[in-house]
Structure 1
Amino acid sequence: MLTYKIDDEVSLRLFTEDDAEEFYNLTIDSKPYLKQWLGWLDNIESVEDSANNIRARLKGFVENGGYLKSFAIIYKGKIAGTIGFNDINKANRIGVIGYWLGEKFQGKGIMSKAFKTVIDYGFKELELNRIEVSVAVENHKSRALPERFGFTIEGEIRQAEWLYDHYVDHVIYGLLSEEWT
């Protein structure tokens, strides 16, 4: 199984179909917390929905020439969340990172470690020239990551995402390979 060990507690690895129930339970347990910023949660109604999500991720692995696009974030042996490239534009060598962490795993530095590792992976393994992050303007926790890692605010998109009963604006962050040390 493809695994990137970050330290003794945190690693990133390929999702497998065996992860469906654990990933589903994490999603449902964190749903009230995550729903403020993630608009797809009402589409997850069963373990099979999580299994379909994992199958789509595995298909992306194959389509990306054996390079992972998304990872399970593992903390002390448990799935804590997910991170990866929601989109990769191969022609222009641009990747767009997306991520979320279960509520009970917040505040432990897990996502910072995972985020840094995925940036390294994007620039070194995938040979991207640019990495982008799109975050709701008011999602200060999520915005802290690209800001901490030297991304530049490049603009704001009005009404970029529909969240159940309202639109939210997004801030777009960018980081170039030459800026990453």
Structure 2
Amino acid sequence: MLTYKIDEEVSLRLFKEDDAEEFYNLTIESKPYLKQWLGWLDYIKSVEDSANNIKARLKGFVENGGYPKSFAIIYRGEIAGTIGFNELNKANRIGVIGYWLGERFQCKGIMSKAFKTVIDYGFKELELNRIEVSVAVENQKSKALPERFGFTREGKIRQAEWLYDHYVDHNIYGLLSEEWK
């Protein structure tokens, strides 16, 4: 099983099919917290939905030539969230990062470590030239990541995402491989 050990507490690894129940439970437990920023949560209604999500992630691993597109974030042996490339444009060597962390895992530095590792992975392993992040304008925690890691805010897309009963605008951040140290 492909694993990136970040430190003694945090690692990234491929999802396994038998992660479905744990991943589902984390999603449901964090749903009220995550729902303010993630528009797909109402589609997760059973462990089978999480299992199908994991199967799609594993299929992406195969389609990407053995390079994972997404990872389970593991904190002290538990799945704490997920991070990876929602989109990979191989022709233009661009990756778009997406991420979320369960509510009880917030404010421990976990996502910062995972985010830095995925940037390194994108530029070194996937040989990307550009990494993008799209974040709801008012999502302070989420937009702090690209800002902290040297991404440039390149603009705002109005009404970029429908969240249950309203639209939210997104800031678009970009980082070029030559800018990453």
TM-score interval (norm. to shorter): over 0.9
2:12 equivalent in structure 1: 12
What secondary structure, in the 3-state scheme, does the structure 2 residue paired with 1:132 have? strand
1:94 equivalent in structure 2: 94
Deviation at 1:8, TM superposition (A): 0.2
Which consecutive unaligned segments of at least 5 residues does structure 1 have? Answer: none
Matched, 1:73 2:73: yes
2:14 alignment partner AA:
L
Q: Distance in 1 between matches of 2:107 and 2:99?
A: 15
1:19 alignment partner AA:
D
1:102-121 matches, cutoff 5 A: 102-121=102-121
What secondary structure, in the 3-state scheme, does the structure 2 residue paired with 1:88 have? strand
1:85 alignment partner AA:
F
Q: Distance in 2 between matches of 1:140 and 1:152?
A: 16
Deviation at 1:105, TM superposition (A): 0.1
1:177 equivalent in structure 2: 177
1:162 equivalent in structure 2: 162
1:57 alignment partner AA:
R
What secondary structure, in the 3-state scheme, does the structure 2 residue paired with 1:131 have? strand
Identity of matched residues, %? 90
Q: Deviations over 1:13-51 (max 9, x none)?
A: 000100000000000000000000000000000000000
Q: Distance in 1 between matches of 2:134 and 2:16?
A: 27
1:138 equivalent in structure 2: 138
Give the TM-score, by structure 2 length: 1.00
1:94 alignment partner AA:
I
Q: Distance in 2 between matches of 1:107 and 1:50?
A: 25
Q: Distance in 2 between matches of 1:134 and 1:110?
A: 20
2:26 equivalent in structure 1: 26
What secondary structure, in the 3-state scheme, does the structure 2 residue paired with 1:68 have? coil
Deviation at 1:117, TM superposition (A): 0.1
Q: Distance in 2 between matches of 1:8 and 1:140?
A: 28
Ranges of 4+ aligned residues in structure 1 off by more than 3 Å:
none
